[in-house]
Structures are given as C-alpha cells and as structure tokens.
Amino acid sequence: MSLGVLNNLNAIYAENNLNNTSNSLSKTLQQLSSGSRINSGADDAAGLSLVNGLQANQTALTQSVTNATEGAGLLQVADGALTQVTSLLNRAVTLATEASNGGLSSQELTALGTEYNNILTEIDNIGSNTNFNGTGVFTSGTTNVFLTDLATNYNIGITTTVLSSSNLALSTTSFATSSDAQTALDQINAAITSVGALRGQIGASILQLQD
C-alpha cells in the first residue's frame, strides 16, 4: 500500500509570510522603543561599530567636561579664599600705618601688634583649612585635569602654591617700635602684590578650563 504526504502549500506560504511580517514588526518596534536604528550586529554590522565608537567618544567628552568643571571649581574656591586674605592684608596695612606713626603709647602699639598677629594666624588658617572635595587647595604640588576625546589626551596642570604668613614673607610680628611697624608695612605691601599675582594666575587657569 502506497503512502502519500499531503501538504497545504498555501498554508505554509501564509505561515512563512506571517512569521516574516512578525519578525519585521518586532524589529521595527525595538527600533522605535530604543530610538536607535541599530540595536544589534544583525541590524548593521559596520554601522554598529561606528555607533559604538561615537558613543564612547561622547561619553569621554561628557566626563572631560565634568573634569574641567571640577578643576575650575577648585580654583574658584582658591580665589575666594585669596579674596579674604587680601581683605586681611588691607586691614594689616591700616594697623601697620597707624603703628608707624610716632606718639603712640606702648599699650597702643601692643594692641595694634596683637590684632596684626591675629591677622597672620587667620591667614595661616585659611591656607591650611581651605579645601575642595576634602582635598587641600593650597599645596606645593600640581593638580592635573585630564581631558580626552579618545583621539587626543590632554593634561592641564593647575597650581596654587602654599599659602601661609611665612610663605608670604610676613616675618615681622611685633609693633614694639614705629620702625618695626614700617618694616612690617613693606612686607605687607609685598604680600599684597604676591597674592594679586597668584589670583591673576588662577583666573587665567579658570578661563582655560572654561573655554
């Protein structure tokens, strides 16, 4: 007895077309939901490699912007601290100028000298306690800000220097005589110049990081 296999070719064709349509619809929905034309290597092998490269480049650039912003933030904190130091030094100018004048009693000179020493202490406190994200701002080292687009790497070094009364060469601490006060006045004036130069350097670095 012979056997025969019956196939419904129209049904098979219809099923195949339905499967193809379903696969195509699934792929289209995936593209719509992800917002990307390429979601796997099967979509476009060459295109996927290009997309992955561009995404990595964008990620690196985004983080580089963050790095630059953090570097500028550190410098802005330093500049704010130096603004306070400048105000303190201007007050010191007043004290030293007053103490340089003849005719003051020893008690008056002592009082002026005490306030001046308090200013020196406050400058030291600003230098040692000012920090950004838990890291000291005024150091002798260089902080590197790393920027990259994956094609080229950049390291921008930012420096501030150690901030202290001794580093500003404010060595005279007594107004015992008008001569002492005049010596201190010269030192204070030089310190104001140094702080101004440092603020200019910091300002230039901030602009470089923001460009």
What is the residue-wise DSSP string for 75-91? HHHHHHHHHHHHHHHHH
- Rounded percentage of the chain residues whose pLDDT exceeds 70: 76
Mean pLDDT throughout 8-12? 60
Please report, for residues 16, 36, 170, 172, 191, the alpha-carbon distance to residue 185 in angstroms, rounded to integers and kept in the order given: 95, 69, 9, 9, 10
d(CA 141, CA 13) in angstroms, rounded, equals: 76
Query: What is the average pLDDT across 167-180?
Result: 94
Angle, CA of 144, 147 and 150, to the nearest 5°: 135
Question: What's the Rg (C-alpha) of the chain?
Answer: 35
- Residue 135 in 3-state DSSP? strand
| 120 — pLDDT class (breaks 50, 70, 90) | very high
For the stretch 33-60, what's the b/e string if a residue is b when 16 or more beta carbons lie within 10 angstroms of its beta carbon? eeeeebbeeeeeeeebeebeeeeeeeeb
Taking residues 131-154, what's their average pLDDT? Answer: 91
**What confidence category does residue 122 fall into, taking pLDDT thresholds of 50, 70 and 90?**
very high
Give the pLDDT confidence of 30-77 residue by residue, as tens digits: 555 655 555 555 555 566 567 677 788 888 889 999 999 999 999 999
SS3 156: strand
The more confident residue out of 103 and 74 is: 74
Better-predicted residue by pLDDT, 128 or 150: 128
